[in-house]
Structure 1
């Protein structure tokens, strides 16, 4: 899953964020032939922070306390998503005052129930108000954890609130689509179903807590995400299928797809290894790994984006014409956590895997593989 040649190609690129990912995430802890990846990661991160491409993204950070027209929680302009992209590139706590201002503002707006709120207006809610769906508070809690605010008691309270929000859904105990208490507005998901996106966000937020300090319910909710994949031929949570669009990564990554599932569940190795692991969960993860590779990677291991959000055309992950060092590095980072499933994934015929409620599941060759 992490061939030396493709990693060498990324390291020879002019994208410091991609080089940082390889040194700090894919090759972390390795010292081969005198190569000090820790030092090289430091050098790449310094270059990333000075890179005009990073600075341009930092300039996009808006005032969190001014209502904006929200295009949806999947939008790259949704501030937690933009902060997540910057963190993917290597931006960390204390690196930039623009990030710190947003984090400070996020912490100032916690509702009485412990959820973090956002202010926005949309076609559905034209009057701006501070409110919170689970896909608000979970995403905010995740970036606060990720960018150095995990010790703040308000973050600890938000995390505990996620446990109180768990519900017995049709798929198992996990996070559903709950209404916000300010407006009573609820997202489009069916009341009895779990919300795949809110569940992944909560799991990512909890992934920054040491495993022995996580409630058992968190691991159980992770298993529900794998159940959704296994049961895809019989049921489909509203708006969250497992067909072609699920298997093709959309860049920059913001939403529920094969990358989102593996990027999240790869942080919970007890799902596939150890005495308590369920063989069905291990098989599901191996199938997802096989799909990520088959649908997104050329035989050489490079990734050419096949689906992109608008507004990132100047970034290698925002175009569809040539392999992207950043996208390649990110997917190898995700696969690195799941290295011990590589052999099982390689034996899986993705053409034989059905999609949601049927479908052939046949993979089209990724660009660059033809």
Structure 2
């Protein structure tokens, strides 16, 4: 497909990600390209920001400036712990592990929301799974550093997905929803974590989570647990994959054979596919204002990174092939 050549001729970080994730080229043959990626001023800034991993309070999980979101983006590009700043970030995450195998972030929940009102290391199910995901994606030992936390998370699941859950440090804090509802975002990022662990590929944990997300799609006009909607805004193409939207959910579900066989997921893919232009390129329909330095931070022309994400989803789902 000509669109692949377009990606390879775009920015170095997109070319690198395309060669690693779609064309499955060996990283050892891409050292020169990798060095170009590291010269990108935006990549440099992200690396600098994650080096002091707890420098920003986690008060809004939708904030693209959070170090965990920047770290996952860099890992998604294909960079590894041989980059000093990524290694520093991973080591800082590992330092803040609790007795359940969960990793904490620096946060502050006001007293009127049920927290202490003080800066404290703590976790919630809308950030801890991402910490485990980042460690796993960075090649950190599953047995030594990740398995215990995954098993703890697994025990929290109910028959409708995962609840809003926080560590003891956050007191009685709970998001704006019914106590018995699932938290769609927590369910999504836990599935994202499990997508990297082969032993969970066909587990009940996964099938319950997938069914819950697809149920929310199927009943998008009626079901909005914890104020997470699958309406017009949800269906707009947006990057990077850090929140609750059609690209983030599709990117996650495209890892699972169980999901790919479901007609509801096929409907979601239809929506994405329908938004390609005649050159199979994708243009952002919604943006994060803090990402304006990137080509996915505008809505006037196709974005190489968004196109990479969409093509990767469609390839995993059997909609396109690049062999």
- Superposition TM-score, scaled by structure 2 size: 0.88
Match of 1:332 in 2: 311
The equivalent of 1:366 in structure 2 is none
1:64 matched residue in structure 2: 53
Give the secondary structure class of the aligned counterpart of 1:190: coil
Match of 1:165 in 2: 156
Q: CA deviation at 1:268?
A: 0.7
Query: 1:193 corresponds to which residue?
Result: 181
Compare 235-244 and 43-52 and name the one that shifted more: 43-52
SS in 2 for 1:130: strand
Residue-by-residue CA offset, 1:15-74 (whole Å, 9 max, x unaligned)? 11211232222233xxxxxxx7877756543432333332122122252345x3434111
> Which of 34, 44, 64 is the aligned partner of 1:55?
44
Q: Return the alpha-carbon distance in structure 1 between the equivalents of residues 149 and 27 of structure 2.
A: 33
Kept in 2: contact 1:48–1:89 (CA 8 A): no
Alpha-carbon distance, 1:109 to partner: 1.2
RMSD: 2.4
- Asked if the contact 1:48/1:90 (under 8 Å) is kept, the reply is no
Distance 1:232 1:21 in 2: 33
Q: Which one of 264, 279, 291 corresponds to residue 312 of structure 1?
A: 291
CA contact (8 A) 1:64 1:102 kept: yes
**Alignment gaps of 5+ in structure 2:** none
- 1:203-237 CA-to-partner distances (Å, cap 9, x unmatched) read 11111111467743223322221122112233222
Output the CA distance in 1 between the equivalents of 2:205 and 2:138. Answer: 25
Aligned to 1:205: 193
Higher RCO, Cα 8 Å, sep 6+: 1
| Distance (Å, rounded) in 2 between the aligned partners of 1:96 and 1:159 | 26
Give, in whole Å, the separation in 1 of the partners of 2:297 and 2:14. Answer: 14
Counterpart in the other structure of 2:267 = 287
Distance 1:271 1:65, change over 3 A: closer
Task: Give the corresponding residue for 1:104.
Answer: 91
Q: Report the equivalent of 2:34.
A: 45
**Aligned residue among 244, 261, 279 for 2:249:** 261
8 A contact 1:203–1:218 mirrored in 2: yes
Please give the TM-score of this superposition, normalised by the length of structure 1: 0.78
CA contact (8 A) 2:59 2:109 kept: yes
Q: Which residue pairs with 2:133 in the alignment?
A: 142
C-alpha separation between the residues in 2 aligned to 1:233 and 1:148?
40
Partner of 2:101: 114
1:176 equivalenced with 2:166 (yes/no): no
| In structure 2, C-alpha distance between the alignment counterparts of 1:17 and 1:187, rounded to whole Å | 36
Contact 2:59 2:107 in 1 (8 A): no
Gaps of 5+ in 1: 29-35, 274-281, 343-370
CA distance in 2, matches of 1:104, 1:58: 14
Q: 1:216 to 1:90 in 2, by over 3 A?
A: same
In 2, the alpha carbon distance for the partners of 1:248 and 1:293 equals 12
> Does the Cα contact within 8 Å between 1:69 and 1:122 map onto a contact in 2?
no
Paired position in structure 2 for 1:23? 19
1:298 and 2:294 correspond = no
Taking the aligned partners of 1:99 and 1:39, their CA distance within structure 2 comes to 18
